[in-house]
Amino acid sequence: MFDMRDLKQGLEWIEGRTKITIEVCGNNIDIHLYPDYPSEKNRVSLDLCIVYGNRVWVRDLLGNGFSSGIQNKGYGTLLFNIGIQVIYTYFGIAQGNPEANNILVSGKTSSVGDPGNEPAKSECRDRRNGFWSNFGFKLKEPDGFFTPMKAKLSELHARLDGKTENGTLYGLDLEQFWLKGNAPLLFESDIRSLMKLDIESLDLDICPTQDDIEGEWVKAVYWSKIIRKTLFCGLSVVAVYFAFSWLDLLHAFSMSFTAIFICYFLSMYLDERSWRYLPAYKKYNLLQNKRGEIISNARQYIKELEKQHNGFFWRLYQGLRVIDQSLSANIFNEMSEHSKSLYTYFLADRYDDYAKFIRAAKVVVVNKGLA
């Protein structure tokens, strides 16, 4: 069970796309939630302040307002649920202890950042006032803007039913956190997700390489040149033969040059029409289509994987390479950095690196008995 010393050292919790940190400095309690971990672009924060020894001032809940793009996602509910637990821990009392009746929690609703036009303005106010009321706060003016609110700590209750948009349960217990800096190398959820991956179903092993495809293209070009030259020579010979057979010498020479010129362009025209029948060109198209289909499926697979578990490859790589240094490789390091930055696009010429990493990661997990 955590105490004040632990709060001052700092606590954190990470699961999939969510990271939560708790920091206590002096009388200030800051709880931050990152809904797109490992990216810290979006952050929802609950700021509390201890005043007069036994009072808690709810200074602000920010980052998930009207224009944030992450409002009504459940992050505020999760944060204040944790905030209630932190307050009990700060004062060193258990929930249900009568001493909670002596601790006053108060604050003031804020409409900063809300739209100025109706009915959106009133809708935001009603939603905010209802949010705090549902935790047990008594609002001085339930229909007012910037209205004071207060409640005894014993009157506050967590809202445990439900979860955030990215899957974190509202009932997250403070005991599931760890001291800052003591995060596990690997998270069980990531290991479970890794072992469920069926990379073989993507057929990456039989994906034609770019060299294979270019090789067939070279063959097609080679045979195309032979066909064009053969057609040109054949047509030219026939044209010259008939010119000298039917015309006098002077006109035959003139007609021959004209015929050869026409035969050159005719051979090119016929050559363009014959491409589709070349075995090498057919194979070129076959390999190109096969590669495109396999890579398209793999790209979608990787995108969905990262969408569900932001930074999935990054987290796995950072933990596994410490456990087994043989996994360290520049190609995997670059791939993990893309994952950390949430670059979910799939590099076509690197498709096999994903398969290599997933297979290698599974081997390490099994050999080290982590699964």
Q: Do residues 123 and 209 both lie within one domain?
A: no
Strands (E), the chain: 11-15, 18-25, 28-34, 44-51, 55-62, 104-108, 138-139, 148-152, 178-179
What is the pLDDT confidence band of residue 229, given thresholds at 50, 70 and 90? low
In terms of Cα–Cα distance, which of 16, 165, 13, 170 is closest to 78? 170
pLDDT tens, position by position, 244-303: 565 555 555 555 556 555 555 555 555 565 666 667 778 888 888 998 888 888 888 888
**Are the C-beta atoms of 320 and 301 separated by less than 8 Å?**
no
Q: Do residues 160 and 225 both lie within one domain?
A: no
Residue 275 lies in a domain: yes
What is the pLDDT confidence band of residue 320, given thresholds at 50, 70 and 90? confident
Largest CA distance in the chain: 125
**Are the C-beta atoms of 43 and 33 separated by less than 8 Å?**
yes
**Are the C-beta atoms of 263 and 239 separated by less than 8 Å?**
yes
Residue 196 lies in a domain: no
| Last-in-domain residue among 154, 183, 212 | 183
Q: What is the 3-state secondary structure (H, E, C) of 235-285?
A: HHHHHHHHHHHHCCHHHHHHHHHHHHHHHHHHHHHHHHHHHHHCHHHHHHH
What is the pLDDT confidence band of residue 197, given thresholds at 50, 70 and 90? confident
Residue 102 DSSP one-character state: G
Q: Cα dist. 346→167, 218, 335 in Å? A: 25, 27, 10
In angstroms, the CA 307 to CA 159 distance is: 27
H/E element holding 335? helix 330-340
Buried b (16+ CB within 10 A) or exposed e, 33-68: bbbbbbbeebbbbbbbbbeeeeebbbbebbbbbbee
In angstroms, the CA 290 to CA 207 distance is: 7
Residue 356: domain span:
204-367
Q: Do residues 171 and 320 both lie within one domain?
A: no
Res 46 pLDDT > 90: yes
Residue 212 lies in a domain: yes
Q: Do residues 81 and 178 both lie within one domain?
A: yes
Residue 177 lies in a domain: yes
Res 212 pLDDT > 80: yes
Reduced to 3 states (helix: H, G, I; strand: E, B; else coil), residue 174 is helix
| Last-in-domain residue among 127, 148, 183 | 183
Res 233 pLDDT > 80: no
Q: Do residues 129 and 263 both lie within one domain?
A: no
Residue 190 lies in a domain: no
Least confident of 7-21, 51-65, 254-268: 254-268
CATH number at residue 75: 3.40.630.30
**CB within 8 Å of 6: residues ≥ 6 apart:** 89, 179
Residue 30 lies in a domain: yes
**CB within 8 Å of 298: residues ≥ 6 apart:** 202, 204, 346, 351, 354
Measured from the Cβ of residue 92, the count of other Cβ atoms closer than 10 Å reads 10
| Last-in-domain residue among 126, 154, 183 | 183
In this prediction, residue 17 carries a pLDDT of 86
Q: Are strands 178-179 and 11-15 parallel, antiparallel or unpaired?
A: antiparallel
Reduced to 3 states (helix: H, G, I; strand: E, B; else coil), residue 280 is helix
User: Peptide bond before 119: cis, by omega within 30 degrees of 0?
Assistant: yes
HSE of 258, CA atoms in CB hemisphere, 13 A: 8
Q: Do residues 168 and 217 both lie within one domain?
A: no
Residue 81 lies in a domain: yes
Residue 312 lies in a domain: yes
Q: Do residues 175 and 216 both lie within one domain?
A: no
Could you give the number of structural domains in the chain? 2
Q: Which residue has the tokens 């739209």?
A: 115
User: Peptide bond before 38: cis, by omega within 30 degrees of 0?
Assistant: yes
Reduced to 3 states (helix: H, G, I; strand: E, B; else coil), residue 48 is strand
**Are the C-beta atoms of 51 and 27 separated by less than 8 Å?**
yes
Based on the number of CB atoms within 10 Å of its own CB, is 345 exposed (0-12), middle (13-18) or buried (19 or more)? exposed
In angstroms, the CA 142 to CA 126 distance is: 8
Q: Do residues 209 and 159 both lie within one domain?
A: no
Q: Do residues 136 and 247 both lie within one domain?
A: no
Q: Do residues 328 and 212 both lie within one domain?
A: yes
Q: In this structure, is the dihedral angle defined by the CA atoms of residues 164, 77, 66 and 23, taken in order, positive or negative?
A: negative
Q: Which two tokens stand for residue 61?
A: 């809940």
Q: Do residues 245 and 112 both lie within one domain?
A: no
pTM: 0.74
Length of the chain: 371
pLDDT tens, position by position, 134-187: 999 999 998 888 899 999 999 999 999 999 998 899 999 999 999 998 888 888
Top-ranked range on mean pLDDT: pick from 75-89, 120-134, 223-237: 75-89
Fill in the amino acid letter for 131.
F
Fill in the amino acid letter for 174.
L
Q: Do residues 215 and 149 both lie within one domain?
A: no
Fill in the amino acid letter for 56.
V
